[in-house]
Amino acid sequence: MRRSYLIFLFTVLIFSACKKDDDHVFDQSPDQRLNETLKKYETALTGSSAGWNATIQTGSGSIFHFHFRFNASNRVFMFADINLETATTAKESSYRLKALQTPSLLFDTYSYLHMLADPDAAINGGTYGQGLSSDFEFSLDSLAADSIKLTGRINNTKLTLKKATQQDLDAWQNGQWAKALAFENINKILNYFKRITIGGTVYEVKVDLVARLITFSWIGGNGSLQQFTTGYNYNAGGIVFLTPFNTGSQTINGLEIVSWDAANFLLNVKVNGTATTIAGATQPLKTDLTAPQRWWQYAVNNGGLYWISLNGFHVNGVDDAFGLKTLTRYYYLIYWPDYDPGSNDLFAPVFINAAGNGLELQYGAAPKKPQFTVDGRAVFTLLGNYGPYPSTGPAGQTRSQLLIPQGYYFVQTGPASYDMVSATDAKAWINWQY
């Protein structure tokens, strides 16, 4: 009986398997459904007459704003808050909607989006070889009535599009975003130290335009230096702090950018509606009195080696102001504390040798150990030279800058890095890395 039942069941399965009805769960094939999805995205992208406001968060953590207008001829027009040019000039490039395992939006000619992903760090201030770890090809994740969400296909960067209004588009076309990007002129202030007064308190301001970080330093009630650091983004009026700054008397959510005064090197801003300026200063708000000696002693205590600077001195707004990088086979500049123990230090450019397989010193200056002043400066004095040190040109000018009689303040920027800032007017400085 059991055997008969099994034969019956097997026969039923065979007939079921051979049934010719080819019923589909879906009314369309996978390709048809995919093409329909792409068509919906195309209709949405091209259907917004004022375009789309877009926000992208790169793999490096930076956030940038864009404005896109797509047309039915596979062209896209964009603005971006990367810099003054991208905020002012609409960039035209091409785009495609394509099925790449998932529905995808590809920006397939060089655009402002590509600038963030460019492996040349000189383009975006990121890391050589990967830029800001951003994308220009995206998987389309979701489509709503007024928004589209996408994910980068290489670096998984998140791109969000929200339908723009005519007022949003006007803010780009009429220069409101460009006005906000005038904040970047803060780096045109020639002095290393920059100040702003808010509510009667003087703050020192330091800005990292690449990482989009701003730091406020002030002297607290006990006389110690206090600091607050936050990331920031742009909007059509200025910069918006990612973390509000509570000064104790007011909460500051950002800075409204009013104008850049190029003649006087002043950035005019408003804080909670009150006008003020960011201006240069010739000395630190509070001098780190022991920083110069810590800098010198660190190299002595950690193997007796040296500090290096790739770019040499920044002077009056110019990196590598004396042109060290124009010297044949130049590699970096060094300062070697206690090079001849108990006698002198060494200050010299280092070169790649002619064979290209090592480094060499062609000449060097021999300053004595710096004089560390009670007001927190290091003053350098020349004892002599190693070899025929040039009296002019990039190396000669660099040596002359080191030996200015006013000396230098030191600002520690990391566990093993310092900025050495001219005490003359703070318009010349050099970064030392160990």
From residue 165, give the alpha-carbon distance in Å to each of 173, 201, 421, 425.
13, 40, 48, 48
Q: Residue 145: which pLDDT band, with cuts at 50, 70 and 90? A: confident
pLDDT in tens, 308-361: 999 999 999 999 999 999 999 999 999 999 999 999 999 999 999 999 999 999
Q: How far apart (Å, rounded) are the C-alpha atoms in residues 298 and 292?
A: 10
pLDDT of residue 28: 63
68 residue type, one letter: F
Region 413-434: mean pLDDT is: 97
Question: Which residues are 350's β-sheet partners?
Answer: 332
Q: How far apart (Å, rounded) are the C-alpha atoms in residues 190 and 428?
A: 8
pLDDT in tens, 78-128: 999 999 999 999 999 999 999 887 899 999 999 999 999 999 888 887 788
Q: Do the Cβ atoms of 382 and 366 come closer than 8 Å?
A: yes
Six-digit token pair at 411? 């600002």
Residue with tokens 């080696």: 305
- SS3 letters across 352-409: ECCCCCCEECCCEEEECCCEECCCCCEECCEEEEECCCCCCHHHHHHHHHHCCCCCEE
Return mean pLDDT, the chain: 91
Q: How far apart (Å, rounded) are the C-alpha atoms in residues 40 and 196?
A: 51
pLDDT at 304 over 90: no
Full-model pTM:
0.82
Six-digit token pair at 132? 């800001």
pLDDT at 5 over 60: no
pLDDT of residue 100: 85
Q: Render the burial of 198-217: b for 16+ CB within 10 Å, e for the rest.
A: beeeebbbbbeeeebebebb
Six-digit token pair at 299? 């190299």
Domains, the chain:
30-174 (2.40.128), 180-281 (2.40.128), 291-433 (2.40.128)
